[in-house]
Amino acid sequence: MAEDTGATRPPTDPDDAPAEYVRAHREELVSLALDLLAVDTSNPPGDTREIVAAIERFLDPLPVEVERFAVDPAKPNLLVRVDGASDRTLLYNGHLDTVPFDADAWTRDPLGERADGRVYGRGATDMKGAVASLLFALRAVVATDAEPPVDLLFAFVSDEEVGGDAGLPALLDARALDANACVIGEPTCEEGRRSVTVADRGSIWLTLEAAGEAAHGSRPMLGVNAVDRLYGAVETIRERFGAERLEIDAEMEPIVEESVEYYAPSMGEATARDLFRYPSINLGVLEGGDAVNAVPGSARAEVDVRLTAGVHTPDVLAAIRDCVADCEGITVADVSWSVGTTEDPASPLVDAVASTAAAVTGDRVFRRSATGGGDAKKLRNAGISTVEFALGTDTLHAPDEYVPVDALVDNAVVYAQLPAAWRSRVD
């Protein structure tokens, strides 16, 4: 990731006034990012009232339509609209909450600090830095009297980090997001590699319960250890499904191959290939037993299964249920699941984002799958073509999280150029 050089590079298009505006006002962009980082929006509790008020003050001088939408008064969302020259709408989405932080584990101020060409703070890369870039791209458009070629809608949402219902789900339920395409400012880049995420993975979250027979720890043969039963069931699931190669749809093959190429430098090619060619199965929670000298009579486990987009999750879930039924004393107490979603890597939205980012950064931009799934999945399932893109770092959720100043600037330039790039590809 490039560091801040303080230089103002010429825009890719000399006539692109919004991009030129962003580069000429980079210090104001940095100040905005620091202002957002100064507000603690750790979730839980996820109170975003103060940061929403700060964004409203930033937007107040601009000729834009601003609406606060809240189903939880402590977790408001903010919608911003700008009329453009067509009846198509491009949505930009960013979340305002962050994961919590332990200030004692940081060497920088978790509520914002600039040093060595970087902006530090909880949310610097995930994703208050991108939110600042989105806001600044918006200001650049209106400050240069540039009528967007499409209508623009910005959704700054709460409650994303815990998967809560007060943020994007509330807006979707209220049908408040009428858009044709969406770009989410989630970080999609690692050191030296840029990408736009065009797919996510399906998931199965299982809660398994085991029944055994309690006994004294000195006579375990007189009981049935529920923890042993439960762990054995998880191992059976791993052996039966974890080693079974997934059937990947033909349209997913190029995304899988590009994803493997993207992740190989950080995890090794074999591991990256297995990540998408086979299910991943993680035992996240295992509970059982009350004392070291007792045979547990009951136990509980939570298991996370992930599947590459294109795999039909219900079929895998049905097979896992059959597998569990073969394990004595084991029941499925609860389950939630989702199907992976994807965008065509050659679609107008994907091509607009990848090509614009490549032109701005001068680097290759991979079109890859995410390893998990979040708001992009919700938006695609609502019928809105969606990708994720933001230059950032792999320090999200870590102490001393940071984003280079150059990344803030380049993000804002990409976001400011996207409406024209997307419009040119859909006409």
Q: Where do the structural domains in the chain lie, given as residue ranges?
A: 14-200+342-424, 202-244+279-338
The amino acid at 130: A
pLDDT of 427 reads 81
- CA-CA-CA-CA dihedral for 5, 10, 12, 16, to nearest 10: 120
Are residues 183 and 389 in contact, defined by beta-carbon separation less than 8 angstroms? yes
Q: Report how far apart, in Å, the C-alpha atoms of 34 and of each of 20, 28, 110, 243, 324 are.
A: 22, 10, 11, 47, 51
With a cut of 60, say whether residue 17 has pLDDT above it: yes
- pLDDT range class, residue 238, cuts 50, 70, 90: very high
Mean pLDDT of 371-392: 95
Neighbours of 336 (CB within 10 A): 9
d(CA 404, CA 411): 11
Encoded tokens for 178: 């009428």
Residues 6+ apart with CB under 8 A from 253: none
pLDDT in tens, 327-372: 999 999 999 999 999 999 999 999 999 999 999 999 999 999 999 8
Burial class (CB in 10 A: 0-12, 13-18, 19+), 105: exposed
Q: Report how far apart, in Å, the C-alpha atoms of 375 and of each of 16, 286, 364, 403 are.
A: 31, 28, 25, 22
Q: What is the DSSP string of 321-387?
A: HHHHHTSTTEEEEEEEEE---B--TTSHHHHHHHHHHHHHHSS-EEEEE-SS--HHHHHHHTT-EEE
Are residues 408 and 123 in contact, defined by beta-carbon separation less than 8 angstroms? no
Encoded tokens for 42: 């750790």
* CA neighbor of 227 nearest in space, from 240, 212, 241: 212
The length of the chain in residues reads: 427
The amino acid at 286: L
Taking the model in full, what pTM does it have? Answer: 0.92
Q: In the chain, what is the straight-line distance between the N-terminal and C-terminal CA atoms, in Å?
A: 34
Rounded (5°) CA angle 77-80-81: 145
Mean pLDDT of 40-56: 98
138: left (phi over 0), alpha (psi -120 to 50) or beta: alpha
Cβ-count burial 247-258 (b if 16+ within 10 Å, e if not): ebeeebeebbeb
pLDDT in tens, 62-121: 999 999 999 999 999 999 999 999 899 999 999 999 999 999 999 999 999 999 999 999
pLDDT in tens, 108-164: 999 999 999 999 999 999 999 999 999 999 999 999 987 899 999 999 999 999 999
- Is 202-244+279-338 assigned to CATH 3.30.70.360? yes
pLDDT of 315 reads 94
CATH hierarchy code of domain 14-200+342-424: 3.40.630.10
Radius of gyration of the chain (CA): 24
